[in-house]
Amino acid sequence: MEKIWKVLPLMLIMAFGNGRAENRKDTTTLNFNNDTLILDSVIEPPPAMLDNLDSLLHKWYVGKTATNMVLDSVPAVNDSLLKRLPDSVYIERLADIQSPIPFVFNNKVRSYIELYTIKRRDLVQGMLGLKDYYFPVFEQALDARNMPLELKYLPVIESALNPRAFSRAGASGLWQFMYYTGKRYGLEINSFIDERRDPYKSTQAAVHFLDDLYNIYHDWLLVIAAYNCGPGNVNKAIRRAGGHRDFWKIYYYLPRETRGYVPAFIAAAYTMTYSEEHQLYPVPSDLPDATDTIMITKPLHLKQVSQLMNINLDYLRDLNPQYRRDVIPAGKKAYPLRLGHEFVTDFVDMEDSVYKYDRNKYFPEGKLVVSPTKTYYPPVVPKGYEKVYYTVKQGDAIGLIAQWFHVRTSDLRYWNNIRRNLIRVGQKLVIYVPKNKVSKYKKVDSMTFAQKQAMIGKKVSTASVSKKKEPEDPNYIYYTVKRGDNLWSIAKKFSGVTNESIMKLNNITDVRKIAPGQRLKIKKKS
C-alpha cells in the first residue's frame, strides 16, 4: 500500500501532465552526419525559428530580475565575438562538458547559442550575476540524489533565475511548477505563501520530480522534455514514433515548444560554461554571499523587520519571495525568515521588539489581515491652493518643512499620511500652497539648508556645522552614526553600553530616529 501512495502522484502527473506546451502532429525526417545531429533547416526557415526562440524565451525577457542590474559595470565586448563561430568550435566545447546528459550539437542548438551569446547578451549577463546565489542551492539538492549537476541550468530557461516568474499558464517560481504539480510534491500554496517561489523548497520538489521522471525513462533528454510538457505528451510522442525512446527520434511528435526546450537547455549549459570565452560578464547583484534562516513562530510582517532593523524591504522580499503578501503566517507552525548573515545576530537580539513593533497596525486584534482596513483618504484640495512637491533631504524634519512652506505640521502630516513625524530621505511630500505663490514654493526643493532657513529669518552658523575632532567632555565617547547602523549594533561596539542608555543620554524617544552623520554621546566605562 505504501508503494502505491508513492507512485500515485506521478501517475496523476502522467495522466494530466505538468507541461505548458501545445500538441502538434507534423512530422519529418532527420539527417545524421558523423554522429552530430543536423536538423533539416529547410523545413523551418530561420526567421520562423527565431520567432519561436523568442516565444520560448519570453521569460528571459524579464524586465526586472530578482535584483537590480547595473549594466554599466560590465566591460565592453570585442565586436568579433558578436559573430557566429565555426560549428567545430561549438562541437568541441560541448564535447568537453563532462556530464551523463548528452550535449549534442545541431542547427537548433546553434540558433539558441547565438541567441544567448549574441542577441540577448545583457539578459544573460544578468543571469550570470545571479548564478552564484542560486546555483549552489540547485547543486546541493542534485548532488544529494546523485543526479547530474548540469540540471541546474533548467531554471535558467524556465524562469531566467527569477523566483517571482509567473507564466500565462499559471506556472510559478524558479522551476515553474504548475499549481497541482507543486501541491503533489509537498509545496504549500495558499493566500499568504507560495513555496513554488521558495528557492530551497521548490528545488527539493523539482529534483524529486526529475528523479521520478528518470525512473520512468532512464534517459535525461526525455526527462527534460517531460519536465516541460508532461510525461503524458512524451508517452504519446513515443507511441507515434513507433516506440523509439530517443529524444531526437520523437522530436517532431512532441509539442512545438518542447522541441525547442531541449536545444535551449543544451545552449544554456554551453553559454553558462563558456561565458568568459564570449566575454559575457556577471552583472553584480544585491543578493548576499551568505545567508541564514530564523524560524518565526508568530505572525510577522516584513515591514516590521525592515523598519525596525533599517533593512531595505526589497532586499527582504528578494530573500523571502515565497511570502506573497509580505506576511509570514506563523502560528500553528513555524516558517523561516531568510536574512543576510550580517543581520542574523541583530535580529536575535531584537526579536521581541520586532514582533511588537506596530503590531496593531499589521495584525489588528492579533489576526492575519489580507487587505488592512483603509485608514487614509486623499485630502480635499483647499480652494485657491495648488499642489507642489518637496523631496526630503538629510537633516530635514516635519517641523522645519512646515515652517519653510508656511503650513501647519498637522496639515503636512495629513496630506502625506505621516504618522509620528516619521519621514525618510528621498521621500516625496505633497504640500498645498496658495496658487499665486506656487512658483516661489517650487524653488524650495532645490535650495540649500541655509537658504531655506533664511526664508524664515534664521541663520545657519558655520561654527555650528564644523566638526570638532576632539569631544568636548572627556567623560564621553562621541560616535558618528554610519549608514546601516541602529542603536543595538552601536551599543554592541562598546562594553557595558545598552541601547536604552544611548537613548536616555541622547534624548532619543524613538529607536528609528537616528540618521547617518548624527553624533551620539556614549558614556565611558568607569
Average pLDDT over residues 64-74: 42
pLDDT in tens, 9-61: 444 444 444 555 533 333 333 333 333 333 333 233 234 444 434 434 444 43
Contacts of 91 (CB under 8 A, 6+ apart): 36, 105
CATH for 476-523 is: 3.10.350.10
pLDDT in tens, 152-182: 999 999 999 999 988 878 899 999 999 999 9
Residue 192 CB coordination number (10 Å): 18
| Percent of the chain with pLDDT strictly greater than 70 | 78
**H helices of 281-394, where?**
302-309, 313-319, 341-356, 359-362
Whether 385-465 and 476-523 share one fold: the answer is yes
Cα gap 406→11, rounded to integer Å = 72
- Given 114, 150, 158, 195, the catalytic residue: 158
Say if residues 426 and 394 touch (Cβ distance below 8 Å).
no
Cα gap 225→247, rounded to integer Å = 8
Q: Is the pLDDT of residue 298 over 60?
A: yes
DSSP 325-352: TSEE--SSS-EEEEEEHHHHHHHHHHHH
Helix axes 87-95, 256-273, angle to 10 degrees: 80
Least confident interval from 134-138, 380-384, 505-509:
380-384
Which architecture does CATH list for 385-465?
Roll (3.10)
What cell was used for 239? 507511441
Known active-site residue 195: no
Cα gap 157→58, rounded to integer Å = 9
Q: Is the pLDDT of residue 350 over 90?
A: yes
pLDDT in tens, 204-255: 999 999 999 999 999 999 999 999 999 999 999 999 999 999 999 999 999 9
β 31-33/36-38 pair status: antiparallel
* Owner of C-alpha cell 524617544: 509
Closest by alpha carbon to 261, among 442, 112, 475? Answer: 112
Cα gap 418→407, rounded to integer Å = 15
pLDDT in tens, 467-511: 444 446 777 888 888 766 778 788 888 888 887 888 888 888 776
3-state DSSP call for residue 292?
Answer: strand
pLDDT computed for residue 23 by the predictor: 35
Cα gap 302→343, rounded to integer Å = 14
Least confident interval from 18-22, 67-71, 229-233, 520-524:
67-71
pLDDT computed for residue 237 by the predictor: 96
Closest by alpha carbon to 320, among 201, 207, 209, 142? Answer: 201
pLDDT in tens, 425-465: 888 899 999 999 999 999 999 998 888 888 888 876 544 44
β 476-480/519-523 pair status: antiparallel
Q: Would you list the domain boundaries of the chain?
A: 43-68+78-162+210-278, 291-366, 385-465, 476-523
pLDDT computed for residue 364 by the predictor: 84
Average pLDDT, the chain: 80
Average pLDDT over residues 192-205: 96
